[in-house]
Structure 1
């Protein structure tokens, strides 16, 4: 297992940040990952919501008010001795009351066409899909942490090489000017070194800007500023021995594929839940009530009843039929989505496996190139002392050596990142596989806490 050479530029102390440590920080504190965990906890609540369809429902109603009455009656009185003698008597009655009533209604579903059962199973499949998506987010955050870590190491090493090149060119310019003063070379040689020095300073400035950008990405992903980064190493011990084995593992374990399969299960169960609307529904309804001064002052009515409620759908305008057809088309789409997921993951595995093999080849080639460039530079400098080589040839040889060293830095970074990319492509980039000292968020804990709750608004 080759250690990343870019780590040589980092300070080697006992308190140096490691690649595993950076991943721990990202896993524990990355806000995007924490948001995904909260999203999954919200999805968990779909299970008790679906189970509520077959649980009893109790409601209470009450009325309380003030009633004023004014009763006016007129009466004609006839004198029995003289029927023509009549008189009208007017009676006025004023009164008030406090009308009030209370109802307590209880309903227990007995049969709902298996709607709640299928909705519960669909909600559970949705939870499983959410867990796979959380795994996918965790993989992406861990891989982003690896990439950010190695980019800082790579760009730090590249900056050091560019700054070293500037220092070499400054010394070479000083020596070239001395030789010009002694008449050993021409002013053209001085100008060539000056041009290379200016170009070297420009490249060093660009390398500094690239490093600053990488530090910013590291801060966003890991949550802290990079300080003393230890060398990074590839994760070959966790990788399959062949590309074919990697593809097989990915098809069976990658969270993107598993989430798509769970989504297809949800769609199938949604069809069954909607078809329940064609079936009769039976429930028991109970009612306890009391009424005072509702139908008249001084009247009171107290009672209770228990009824069986049967609801038989006959025709609802075609709404349910349309929803079932729609759900069937959605289920077909989800199955196609699973096929798309398999094809995408297969493509990723092949791409990252190829990138890993290419990085290994590039490291070997860059090491050979560096050794050859060092020998060539030494020989050209010795030959220049004898007047057989020009200043331009020395500068070209120095530049070739610089580019070879930078190529090695980039190849070693790519080697480490590609190994983690393959691990992510097969679905095994996780805290468990990396053994991150007991770190791990278990989504099943919250699910077990809420799945059978019958009430309460406090979150676990």
Structure 2
């Protein structure tokens, strides 16, 4: 098992969203139409989970200069002014006031490797945090793709249910007309009325699901879903689960983060062991004292010096002899935490393998479901047409027509759901492989956020007044976005790609 940092990256990063851009250009232009690429770009810019993770990583970067500071000289000054309000009656030489200024420079010379190991651990944790940021990006993108496809799916289901309600209303009217002329019974009318009532209930439920999906989209993207375009086919998908797992083991950010955490925990052991080593530092100090003319000699006509100063330099050596077992306990604690980090690495690796295989299996299963359901839709369409024709000659009942229409609707809904599930599962495969991050997706609209830029800016900063500007909100709020509705375009259902 390798725990050292692997800096190599594949020569070709999977730019599948560049394919999204090409696919979007091939789609008909529509006013205010939104593509999947556009939705991902908005989420990348405005999602609060992602902007908060970037801020957290910037805070993580600061641990490196903080640890470095313990190996740098420290300069301190102090000034005191004192006014004696009451002088003892028998003390004629006490000053009324005094001003004292002192300064000291302390330079660490040797600390047993504590600073070196602490800086090393902080650097590893920066790299782990950068990997965690990649994982957050992939997670937000996966949720965004899911929300995007949920809206398309639920919109299609609403349209299918609307069409079904319209057909059932026409059936009910035709049944009522035939009942009036004595061609059908009251039972046929009641069956049509009951099926229409159920269909209207299903439509209301589908509309509620569509509203929930649109609100979830708003939460993730920060904008309302308007005329979502069908996404293009995802390229660069693996040919087998084994291929996907192989790529994931090299590129998944969760594995990279766990790897760097192991490296950091090993450096922590060195820091703990350094607490038992001697520490050497050099000091230089000085002081200035001024009694501001208030010091009396107590002898008439004899003046005393009102100002004094001093300076001293030295070397300080500290050698821990006995601390009641605290030092060895700290070493054992660091060793146990390192062992924990190693086991966590194994757990993460197992999870990534299972996640990758599961996502691949779900993708393949839904691809087969799509194929089978497409056949079922075609068969049910023919069946419905035949039942209607047979009803016209009296060999089929109204209930047969209603059942055939319901089966046709059910298979259409199943097809829409399977198409959504397949697309989301395929994207989950890319995410598990570490190929669904901003650097892979070809996000347009500006330069990508690079956490390394901030790290390089702060890692060597030694000025004590180098503050950043006051924090400002980065993510957009959604309070001004109107509440989502269940309104859908008029026309045939806009199904996901097959």
> Is TM > 0.5 for Structure 1 vs Structure 2?
yes
User: How far is 1:71 from its partner?
Assistant: 5.7
- Secondary structure class of the residue paired with 1:302: strand
For residues 288-315 of structure 1, the C-alpha deviation after alignment (integer angstroms, 9 at most, x for no partner) is 2222349964344322221111111111
- For structure 1, the 5+ residue unaligned runs are 74-92
2:454 to 443, 446, 451: 446
Contact 1:349/1:426 (8 A) holds in 2: yes
Which whole-Å deviations, capped at 9, do the CAs of 1:137-191 have from their partners, x for residues lacking one?
1111111111111101100100010011000000011111111122222111111
Aligned runs of 1:56-455 on 2, under 5 Å?
Answer: 56-67=73-84, 69=87, 72=90, 96-235=95-234, 237-293=235-291, 297=296, 298-299=304-305, 300-437=307-444, 438-455=446-463
Give me the whole-angstrom Cα distance separating, in 1, the residues matched to 2:93 and 2:384. Answer: 120
Compute the displacement of 1:233 (Å).
3.1
In structure 1, C-alpha distance between the alignment counterparts of 2:198 and 2:60, rounded to whole Å = 57
* Contact kept in structure 1, 2:77 and 2:104, CA below 8 Å: yes
- The CA deviation at 1:399 is 0.9
Tell me the distance in 1 between the aligned counterparts of 2:178 and 2:269: 88
Number of equivalences: 434
Q: Which runs of 5+ in 2 are unaligned?
A: 1-15, 297-303, 470-498
SS of match in other structure, 1:61: strand
**How far apart in 2 are the matches of 1:277 and 1:96?**
46
> Whose Rg is larger?
1
CA contact (8 A) 2:95 2:295 kept: no
Assess if the C-alpha contact under 8 Å between 1:71 and 1:94 holds in 2.
no
Q: Is the 1:158–1:406 Cα contact (8 Å) retained in structure 2?
A: yes
Aligned mates of 2:211, 2:94 — CA distance in 1? 87
Q: How far does residue 386 in structure 1 lie from its aligned partner after superposition?
A: 1.0
Q: Is the 1:57–1:108 contact (alpha carbons within 8 Å) kept by the matching residues of 2?
A: yes
| Superposed CA RMSD | 2.2
1:379 deviates by 1.1
Cross-structure match for 1:18: 35
Does residue 47 (structure 1) correspond to residue 64 (structure 2)? The answer is yes
Q: Distance in 2 between matches of 1:453 and 1:255?
A: 28
Structure 2 counterpart SS, 1:444: helix
Structure number with higher strand proportion = 1
SS of 1:65's equivalent?
strand
Greater helix fraction, Structure 1 or Structure 2: 1
**TM-score (norm: length of structure 1):** 0.90
The 1:72–1:308 alpha-carbon spacing in structure 2 relative to 1, beyond 3 Å, is: closer
Contact 2:359 2:429 survives alignment (8 Å):
yes
Give the corresponding residue for 1:31: 48
* Deviation at residue 444 of structure 1 after TM alignment: 0.5
Asked if structure 2 preserves the Cα contact closer than 8 Å seen for 1:286 and 1:304, the reply is yes
